[in-house]
Amino acid sequence: MCAGPAAELGLTLSVLAEAEDASAALVVPSAPVGAHTDAEAVRRFAAACDVVTFDHEHVPPEVLAELVADGAVLHPHPEALRFAQDKLAMRERLTALGIPCPRWARADTVSDAEAFGDEVGWPVVAKTPRGGYDGKGVRVVATAAELSDWLERAAGAGTGILLEERVPFRRELAVLLARSPSGQAAAWPVVETVQTDGICTEVLAPAPGLDPELGARATEAALRVAGALDVTGVLAVELFELADDPGFVVNELAMRPHNSGHWSMDGAVTGQFEQHLRAVLDLPLGSPRPRERWTVMANVLGGEYSELYPAYRHVMARDPGAKVHLYGKGVRPGRKIGHVNVSGDDLDDLRERAGHAADYLRGVVTQ
Amino acid sequence: MCAGPAAELGLTLSVLAEAEDASAALVVPSAPVGAHTDAEAVRRFAAACDVVTFDHEHVPPEVLAELVADGAVLHPHPEALRFAQDKLAMRERLTALGIPCPRWARADTVSDAEAFGDEVGWPVVAKTPRGGYDGKGVRVVATAAELSDWLERAAGAGTGILLEERVPFRRELAVLLARSPSGQAAAWPVVETVQTDGICTEVLAPAPGLDPELGARATEAALRVAGALDVTGVLAVELFELADDPGFVVNELAMRPHNSGHWSMDGAVTGQFEQHLRAVLDLPLGSPRPRERWTVMANVLGGEYSELYPAYRHVMARDPGAKVHLYGKGVRPGRKIGHVNVSGDDLDDLRERAGHAADYLRGVVTQ
């Protein structure tokens, strides 16, 4: 999704692709094939780039260290990126900064887990510090025994498990911003993210009915995190909104264009992929102003159709105002394979339209 | 400028490029080098494409005929395209359709020109039927003698010269629409185009203060032209607005994304490059609805700077809401090398901002 803005900005984008027919490889001028875990492939790729950035957090730290030693220009820098790669490091750092977090602990043993759960109340939320996404690597457990397999594996690797209290939140919010190497930062309006079975299915931009004071405090916290961690590029800060003080806690960080920001591709003066490119190149940032009153983003999850084209045509014809973005990825049930943005004045109408288009593409509705 | 939308639509775009370092070649996955006048190069290129379209009108008819014989799928079809390639053919056809035109005549001799000028009044506007753009191939002449060189050359080629009365217009307008092979058509709001020395410098979308009835009639006329000529893809119909009946006459036709539609890239739900791709692929067309009250487009003309990057950074930093599109073309004085779009509620403010950005990039202002 950077390919469009890169062309608009006159940049020549190169992608380290998983395979020759990877979806990104089909729309950029250069896409050498290689695994993000293969140090030699990544180093060869980076040597041909002016600036290197990331579309996920899974490049191993030891590969990143080699790139730094090679003199590659990485944005975000590995020193920042590790707080998005390692949830325990993230919790330690945010707590030190005074950013509101759920109560949390590192557990290495079953008795660590027992102690934490007895203190904050069961059930608790357990997370593997690395490699999780879209609900993977997360477990809600009612007893410490339910974690014994994870704890055993973590003990072998010496990584520990992150435990968090289960926060009784009102809803989920996200602050998305971009920050450049010279320190300029710009935040989009706070959005509401709607999750189903641990996967974000809908984003409402801006978050309806949000207390402006809470929105300002959340945005200030996110900007402070970005500055303190020296984040470059897009930073997504996922929040739980609370009924009581402090009004929110931070759930997760991501240092890349993020699902919660897909609405901005059509709904804001500057979309998150354009802004990410501007940020990592240290170009002046663009305005994050929404172009319309509301934009609703609905994720398209893999479903009935292995061949999406007929459904795509149907959705385009049914709603000419819907912006359908398909990723060209293979369809697997529940996998995010695209999203739909719809903008306008009537939030209920937009939710119905975005949801219908996403459901149709999934095959959940057939008319 | 199709590269961004093509990536978004998941299309693999190939461009027949003038040179390996042509600006388009740097942002698309495939860009074989060849001249649009070289039949073999064009045929080889087309053989590898599902659908072929055009970014100018200058591919020779005999090359197009070879492509048709090869079975290439061309949109627009040469049968339609010739009315954008040949201004005499255009005038004949529009007149037959009853579309308002300035009074016109074909002149092959000085005495033809004398007769026309004496009938409609001097000065008259003379146009070479083929190959003109941005004021090139157009002359305003006070006597027939001023055309003797053109008439001599036209007599050799057997092409004639198009003569038109000089219309006392209020302002210039344009209707932009897209039409697909299956006949679906969608028009953007009528815009005002502001010309300086024969080159469009500014577009106001929608045209301020336009009589809605006139706008509707102009749009209806453009849709009728598109249908009658079987245009596929984007059609731009440039108009002169008149104080008296019939309210407008058609000035020019273009069958491709057009300068008068650049505002739509940022200002409409569906921009003209996306819509052109949807149209030529016979995908359902997207909504042409403007996202904001006004969008102003200012063309960036080549000026003082051969290296635009510092000025580009300055403009981005000065006005984060300005969308600056640079084409990566070599800078020549007066050449269109980019454009700036600005959207919002205050038309005067938008004109000032778009104009300032364009002037700064040209080097006309330095702060």
Residues of A with CB under 8 A from a CB of B: 1, 3-8, 10-13, 23, 25-29, 186, 266, 269-270, 278, 283-287, 289, 291-292, 313, 316-317, 320-321, 323, 325-328, 343
Quote helix, strand, coil % in chain A, to nearest 5: 35, 25, 40
Note the pLDDT of residue A28. Answer: 84
Distance of alpha carbon A281 from alpha carbon A284, whole angstroms: 9
Cα A256 to Cα A1: distance, rounded to the nearest angstrom: 12
Q: What would the mean pLDDT of B227-239 be, rounded to a whole number?
A: 98
Instruction: Kindly list the residues from chain B whose CB atom is less than 8 angstroms away from the CB atom of residue A32.
Output: none
Between B4, B286, B323, which is nearest A4 by CB? B4
Counting Cβ atoms within 10 Å, is residue B138 exposed (0-12), middle (13-18) or buried (19+)?
middle
pTM of the model: 0.94
Q: Among A321-330, A346-355, B117-126, B327-336, whose mean pLDDT is lowest? A: B327-336
**In the predicted structure, residue A134 carries a pLDDT above the cut 70:** no
Asked if the Cβ–Cβ distance from A3 to B4 is below 8 Å, we say yes
CA-nearest of A278, A287, A229, A277 to A253 is A229
Is the model's pLDDT at A131 over the cut of 80?
A: no
Q: Is the pLDDT of residue B6 over 70?
A: yes
Q: Is the Cβ–Cβ distance between B72 and B225 less than 8 Å?
A: no
Nearest Cβ partner for A291 among B6, B27, B343: B343
Q: How far is A152 from chain B (nearest CA, A)?
A: 44
- What is the interface pTM, i.e. ipTM, of the complex? 0.91
Pick from B11, B26, B339 the residue to mutate for testing the A interface (most A CBs within 10 Å).
Answer: B26
pLDDT at position A10 is 79
| pLDDT at position A346 over 80 | yes
Confidence of residue A295 (pLDDT cuts 50, 70, 90): very high
Contact state of A26 with B8 under an 8 Å Cβ cutoff: no
Q: Is the dihedral of CA B216, B217, B223, B227 positive or negative?
A: positive
Give mean pLDDT, residues B258-265. Answer: 98
Rounded to a whole number of angstroms, the distance from the CA of B59 to the nearest CA of chain A is 25
Q: Which residues of B172-183 are buried (b: 16+ CB within 10 A; e: fewer)?
A: bbbbbbbbbbee
Nearest-CA residue of chain B relative to A269? Answer: B321
Mean pLDDT for B163-192 is 97
pLDDT band at B300 (very low <50, low <70, confident <90, very high): very high
Chain-centroid distance of CA A123 in Å reads 26
Quick one: average pLDDT of A225-249?
Answer: 97
Residue B25 above 70 pLDDT?
Answer: yes
Q: Is pLDDT at A21 greater than 90 in this prediction?
A: no
Residues A95 and B262: their CA atoms lie apart, in Å, by 48
Nearest to B272 by CA among B194, B175, B171: B175
